[in-house]
């Protein structure tokens, strides 16, 4: 199979997932790891960037026919359709609910992107970035290949996309902006679970926390991140002794239990609220916003 020119620069794994729609992600990665996928006659890693004109050999794989594929439930599809907060010819922005994965895999049949594709068959939707499953808020999906390339380039560029989160942090944060410049390293625990920690061998990571108001001995904060590492806000918040409320991986179980009982906080209080960027080399500015989920507003109101 020849790589089309408009797929120049696309990762091999993403190219294969696009060509083998309906095939489990785990199988696609297994084919690559075992050397059954060849690029220009040689083995290649999943992250290899393809070039227009490359020849990709894909072994015979039975792809489920459209009618055979399980579909997301009608209720879930309707909920995600209602969660679209912005759309134009190039992209759409989803106010992703907490508990919804950005994409399927690891036992999750349908993430946000699979469900949007079921809602919009034939549109060629592609995730620009990801949000943790337990984080709510803005998730950007490209409708055009050109928009995907430009947005991903902005994601890699320092200051290319301004990201603002809202979070409830445990304890009283000091006044002013607290900047956390601490490298983050991803490790794996038994069972393959990712666990991130501050470590000198990690990647540079920078977060800026600012308390907006204090309630019930805790701090409702704005967080701006200069880098986009896995679990960055959650680990940086833990590092400074003010974990994200409701975080069952990096937070305090006793505090989480108390907040669940006192204010009904049954999820992590972390929300991607605002994204600002410009396409067309700065000529087309975007300022996208996603309102706080009702359950977070209600929990905040109960926090006297």
CATH number at residue 213: 3.30.2350.10
**Residue 201 shares a structural domain with residue 233:** yes
Condensed to tens digits (0 to 9), the pLDDT of residues 277-293 reads: 999 989 999 999 999 99
Per-residue confidence band for 182, with pLDDT thresholds at 50, 70 and 90: very high
Strand order in 38-39's β-sheet? 42-43, 38-39, 56-57
**Domain end: 154, 188, 216, which one?**
154
Domains identified in the chain, total number: 3
Considering the domain architecture, whether residues 215 and 93 belong to the same structural domain is answered as no
Residue 214 in this model has a pLDDT that exceeds 50: yes
Flag whether 284 is in a domain: yes
Predicted confidence (pLDDT) per residue in 73-99, tens digit: 778 889 999 999 999 999 999 999 999
Q: Among 153-157, 182-186, 292-296, which is the least confidently predicted range?
A: 153-157
Q: Is residue 279 part of a domain?
A: yes
Look up 132 and say whether it is catalytic. yes
The answer as to whether 234 is a domain residue is yes
Domain boundary among 139, 154, 169: 154
How far apart are the C-alpha atoms of 287 and 289, rounded to whole Å?
7
Q: Where are the alpha helices (DSSP H) in 22-110?
A: 25-33, 74-82
CATH number at residue 44: 3.10.290.10
Instruction: Give the SS3 label for residue 153.
Output: helix
Residues 50 and 39 sit within 8 Å (Cβ to Cβ): yes
Residues contacting 292, CB < 8 A, separation 6+: 166, 271, 273, 300
147: domain CATH number? Answer: 3.30.70.580
> Given this model, what pLDDT does residue 76 score?
84
From 13, 54, 132, 134, the catalytic residue: 132
Q: Both 211 and 231 in a single domain?
A: yes
- Please name which of 118, 122, 227, 113 lies closest in space to residue 180, comparing C-alpha atoms: 227
Do 123 and 38 share a domain, yes or no? no
Range of the domain at 33: 5-57
Q: Are 236 and 180 in contact (CB under 8 A)?
A: yes
197 & 175 share domain: yes
Rounded CA gap, 201 and 108, in Å?
A: 31
User: Looking at the whole model, is its pTM more than 0.85?
Assistant: no
Same structural domain, 281 and 178 = yes
Report if residue 62 sits inside a domain: no
pLDDT reading at 255 higher than 80: yes
In the predicted structure, residue 251 carries a pLDDT above the cut 90: yes
Does residue 65 belong to any structural domain of this protein? no
CB 238 within 8 A of CB 251: yes
Asked if the structure places residue 186 within a domain, the reply is: yes
Residue at 68 is within a domain: no
Whether 189 and 280 map to the same domain: the answer is: yes
């Amino acid at each position: 199979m020849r790589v089309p020119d408009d797929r120049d620069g696309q990762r091999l794994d993403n190219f294969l997932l696009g060509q083998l729609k309906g095939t489990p992600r785990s199988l696609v990665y297994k084919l690559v790891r075992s050397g059954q996928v060849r690029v220009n006659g040689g083995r290649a890693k999943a992250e290899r960037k393809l070039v227009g004109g490359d020849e990709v050999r894909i072994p015979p794989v039975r792809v489920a026919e459209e009618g055979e594929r399980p579909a997301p439930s009608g209720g879930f599809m309707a909920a995600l359709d209602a969660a679209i907060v912005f759309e134009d010819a190039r992209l759409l922005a989803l106010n992703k609910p907490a508990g919804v994965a950005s994409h399927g895999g690891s036992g999750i049949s349908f993430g946000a992107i699979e469900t949007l594709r079921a809602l919009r068959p034939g549109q060629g939707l592609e995730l620009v970035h990801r949000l943790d499953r337990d984080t709510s808020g803005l998730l950007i999906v490209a409708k055009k290949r050109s928009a995907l390339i430009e947005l991903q380039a902005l994601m890699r560029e320092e200051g290319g996309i301004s990201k603002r989160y809202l979070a409830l942090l445990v304890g009283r944060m000091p006044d002013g902006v607290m900047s956390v410049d601490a490298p983050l390293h991803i490790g794996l625990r038994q069972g393959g679970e990712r666990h991130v920690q501050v470590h000198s061998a990690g990647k540079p990571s920078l977060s800026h926390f600012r308390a907006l108001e204090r309630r019930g001995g805790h701090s409702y904060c704005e967080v701006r991140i200069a880098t986009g590492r896995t679990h960055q806000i959650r680990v940086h918040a833990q590092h400074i002794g003010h974990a994200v409320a409701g975080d069952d991986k990096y937070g305090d179980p006793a505090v989480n239990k108390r907040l669940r009982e006192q204010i009904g906080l049954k999820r992590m209080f972390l929300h991607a609220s605002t994204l600002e960027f410009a396409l067309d080399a700065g000529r087309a500015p975007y300022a996208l916003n996603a309102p706080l989920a009702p359950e977070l507003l209600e929990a905040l109101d109960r926090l006297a």
